[in-house]
Chain A
Amino acid sequence: DAGVTQSPTHLIKTRGQQVTLRCSPKSGHDTVSWYQQALGQGPQFIFQYYEEEERQRGNFPDRFSGHQFPNYSSELNVNALLLGDSALYLCASRDGGMLGYGYTFGSGTRLTVV
């Protein structure tokens, strides 16, 4: 059973550019969340998607946007990249009806902004 799949694994972008990261949730999971993990820190919640809608958003600017598709996969888009956006971006999925259960995380996309 495939877990959470993220692509690409590594990415280098130039300041001011735009980037799209992709996530395929674990089979049977319909809820996808995105997290940003800066070097040496714990992950920070960006937003969560459920039924193709943004259900909750963390403290991130509007440059960060997302989308969820009918097959539950998701994209994270970041516009006007800043050097400070360099981080590991993690996608997590879970069964929408199991609030008490842990999320399954992907291995992440390492974004470097130069």
Chain B
Amino acid sequence: AQSVTQLDSHVSVSEGTPVLLRCNYSSSYSPSLFWYVQHPNKGLQLLLKYTSAATLVKGINGFEAEFKKSETSFHLTKPSAHMSDAAEYFCVVRMQGDYKLSFGAGTTVTVRA
């Protein structure tokens, strides 16, 4: 069963405009949630994580995400996109009692000058 769904396979924004990447998860309990970024031919870098503390999570490079249990969502936002934000973004969930990370299919972000 799919445990994490990224609602957009591709997002294109203009430099300086907001970015929104949407993610929904399926879990009966509060999971641990993460956003990772992968630049071309690179490994995965952790942007931010939610671990049942504050529902608004701030990450690196100006990204933040809000955990909404009622909507089972964990959307990633950034107020102003930069050219260097062009990359693949993965929403990731770790279910309670599970050791593995389950990745969404990814969202490709392109930034127009």
Taking Cβ atoms with an 8 Å cutoff, the residues of A that contact B are 4, 33, 35, 41-45, 48, 55-56, 58, 90, 92, 99-108
Contact = CB atoms under 8 A, between A and B. Distances in A.
A101 B103 CA distance: 15
B34 interface: yes
B46 A104 contact: yes
Given A90-B44, A107-B43, A42 B90 contact: yes
B104 to A, nearest CB: 6
B61 to A, nearest CB: 15
Interface residues of B, number: 22
Contacts of B51: 100-101
A45 B32 contact: no
Contact of B43 (A41, A58, A108): A108
8 contacts: A42-B103, A43-B101, A45-B100, A92-B44, A100-B51, A102-B34, A102-B46, A107-B43
B52 interface: yes
Q: Is the interface of A mostly helix, strand, loop or mixed?
A: loop
A105 B45 CA distance: 7
A55 B43 contact: no
B32 A58 contact: no
B77 to A, nearest CB: 19
Nearest to B32: A100
B35 to A, nearest CB: 9
Nearest to B102: A45
B52 A55 contact: no
Nearest to A57: B100
A28 B43 CA distance: 20
Given A100-B32, A101-B49, A55 B44 contact: no
A41 B105 contact: yes
Contact of B100 (A33, A41, A101, A104): A33
